[in-house]
Chain A
Amino acid sequence: MEQIYGILQTLRPEFDFKSSENFVDDGYLDSFDVISLVAELESVFQIQIDAMDILPENFSNIDSILNLVCKNGGKI
């Protein structure tokens, strides 16, 4: 979990992701940040995220991102 927070913090250092319940609704992640996050998750966890999973709801909070990584074969 901390590893993913670390990635998020690198992407948008100006936000405190731990204080947000919805990263997308709160404006912490825009659609292009999501693309950057996908690339970073794929690189760090050595996975390929299915294009059909690249939906805002899968990046809205830390649990949804964790689920996404696990679903696509990532080991956390």
Chain B
Amino acid sequence: MKRTFVGKHISGILSILPKKESYFEEELLNYTFTPSQSMRLKKIMGYEKHRIVKPSTATSDLCIYGLNLLLDQGYITREEIAAVIVVTITPDHFMPHVSSIIQGECHLPKNVLCMDIMQGCCGFLIGLMQAYMILEGAGNKKVLVINADTLSKKVSKKDRNSYPLIGDAATITVVENDTSAEKIYYTMYMDGERRNALRIPAGGSRLPCSTETARMKEDAEGNIRSQDNLVMDGSSVFTFVQIDVPPMLKEILQDAEVSKDEIDWFIFHQPNQFMLQKLAQKIDVPQEKLFSNIVSLYGNPSGASIPLTVTHNLGERMKHEEFLCCLSAFGEGLSWGAVITKMGEMDFCETVVSDL
């Protein structure tokens, strides 16, 4: 799907991280692989450390912490909010929605639209599109796109394919109308035939959680997980990204009539450093313009990856400068998409650490 949007602007991003850092080297003994085998991957994949929430922390807790901060500091008022869009694959419950929990806990007015979207890696782009559409005719109201996941609760600690890479985080992105904003180019592709490359087999109506689904089993490569855990076919995901993402990026650059050189920053979802490095080579973009540090510092926080990349790497500059950015995400679904948009002159763009 291709769309263009006009008169929309991201006026602030807040990233919320849990306090606890877990180090790859301390987790080596959880895996069946030899430490030397695992350590070899440390630099290549970017396994370093990641943020993990406390066992008692739910996804909404990170969001509520962040939104209360924004309300208390006056960056947004309750009356300005038109909608709260939460994008997550790790909701607190099936019911109520995380957005409803946030509305209740933050005492938002009853005319605020609250909706959850179940989407993983492309969650920021999907939430952004929804915000752009809701803002049509919304006047000076604002939409909050909240990307939040606590994937540490769904990934086996004995799965070396996935556990070292994931990180818990939430981001709150404020989107509003701005008549002076330049045209935004948006594209999104999906392929449900390849949906099983990333999945959590149990826990839904197809296969409810049970003692059987919770049983830990070792796969052919030596990773130990249950059907309640996330399972990723790493080879398929890698091939998908290298085959499908480059032509999509070429297409959106052509549509926007901008060259790669004119893009200030390529801000991509960060599954792992190896995949990003190979993608950068494939699309011939200098690695200095494509951030790849989030996965090593915080872990891959699913849909929060792009906004966290922005606050961590460009926080101060986003408040005083403006950049032409190419955002891109790819993963669960399978889905892959991109946005070309000006970003900057934000009211706030920060990363905070919570005690959650």
Contact = CB atoms under 8 A, between A and B. Distances in A.
Interface in B23-47: 37, 40-41, 43-45
A54 B45 CA distance: 15
Contact of B41 (A35, A48, A51): A35
Contact of A48 (B40, B243, B279, B281): B281
Interface residues of B, number: 22
Interface stretch (B188-196, B234-242, B307-315): B234-242
A53 to B, nearest CB: 10
A32 B282 contact: no
Interface string B254-280: 000000000000000000001000110
B44 A56 contact: no
B44 A54 contact: no
B44 A52 contact: no
Most B C-beta atoms less than 10 A away, residue of A33, A35, A52, A54: A35
Interface in A29-51: 30-33, 35-36, 39, 48, 50-51
B243 A32 contact: no
A33 B274 CA distance: 13
A66 interface: no
Interface of A is mostly: helix
B282 A11 contact: no
Given A11-B40, A31-B234, A33-B37, A51 B221 contact: no
B8 to A, nearest CB: 34
A54 B238 contact: yes
B198 to A, nearest CB: 15
Greatest chain A CB density within 10 A among B43, B44, B161, B281 is at: B44
A51 B220 contact: no
A9 to B, nearest CB: 13
A51 B44 contact: no
Chain B interface main SS type:
helix
A52 B239 CA distance: 7
B225 interface: no
A35 B44 contact: yes
B233 to A, nearest CB: 9
A51 B281 contact: yes
Contact of B234 (A11, A12, A32, A52): A32
A55 B234 contact: no
B203 interface: no
A71 B243 CA distance: 19
A51 B238 CA distance: 9
Contacts of B37: 11-12, 32-33, 36
A39 B235 CA distance: 16
16 contacts: A11-B37, A30-B220, A30-B221, A30-B222, A31-B161, A31-B221, A32-B37, A35-B45, A36-B41, A39-B43, A39-B44, A39-B274, A50-B282, A52-B243, A54-B239, A56-B235
Interface of A: 11-12, 27, 30-33, 35-36, 39, 48, 50-52, 54-56
